[in-house]
Amino acid sequence: MGGGMFFLVCLMLLAHSSILVRPKKLNDNSLEGKNIFILAGQSNMAGRGSLVPMPSECQRNPRILRLNAKLTWEEAQEPLHQDIDIHKTCGIGPGMAFANSILERDSARVGVIGLVPCAVGATNITAWQRGGFLFNQLVERAQAALRDGGRIRGILWYQGESNTDNLENVKGYKGKLETFFKDIRSDLKLPQLPIIQVALASGQNATYTEMVRKAQLEIKLPNVTCIDAKGLQIQSDKLHLTTEAEVRLGKMLAGAALKIMEHI
């Protein structure tokens, strides 16, 4: 075989191999019918649980998608926040266990789930107020998630540990949290958007943690549900949930979401 012919054959083989390894394109129908959930808050939502061994409840599923940092959909896998909470090492959070649990309980009705990671570790409630980077990023990502169709079914919110370090950070927490919920609904033009918030399992100061928890549990806004994480297992750092606890929380959030979806 001559040198030119050999080179041509090599090019053909290379082109053929690139086709074989090309990522599978997401089905347009799955994008149009997806049920979208926004994951927001700080580190216990972003996830700090160990990735090894990977819990069965957190395994990949082609019917669970993730909006990545480039605002495109891809098949979801842990860690969900790896390109969002970029200044920390992310691990298992509640997101994949949440989505897998919903599909396990009601796959026929739910179909495809789209997860939109927005949580960033060590963020005070003040950092989530309208006009700030985190608020604007959440709105941008939520709007991008709708471009291919689908419906935002709710926000999963777990934040507050950063407000438990001193009394000043506790003062006004309830008001700021309510304002955030109202403003995010307003900017997304979804006045009845369900919000499932998590009452703290841990904090930096026991007294202030209980004060933040009290504020969270007393929120009485329409379509705001509170899941109490108190009692879930905490890592040795006394702040972050263990992998097992994150999985448990994901299932708790799924139960709340399914109840809400029955009525909307």
234, 257, 264: which is closest to 102 by C-alpha? Answer: 257
Report residue 21 CA to chain centroid gap: 29
Q: Which of 194, 192, 213, 193 is nearest to 202 (CA)?
A: 213
Q: Return d(Cα 124, Cα 112) in angstroms, integer.
A: 32
**165: phi then psi, degrees, rounded to nearest 5:** -90, -25
Residues marked active site are found at 43, 237, 240
Count of Cβ atoms closer than 10 Å to residue 201 Cβ: 23
**Type of residue numbered 129:** Q
Residues 90 and 142: their CA atoms lie apart, in Å, by: 21
Q: From CA 104, how far away is CA 97, in angstroms rounded?
A: 10
User: In angstroms, what CA-CA distances link 238 with 110, 114, 201, 206?
Assistant: 36, 31, 10, 11
The CA dihedral of 155, 37, 80, 148, to the nearest 10 degrees, is -140
The answer to whether the beta carbons of residues 63 and 103 sit under 8 Å apart is: yes
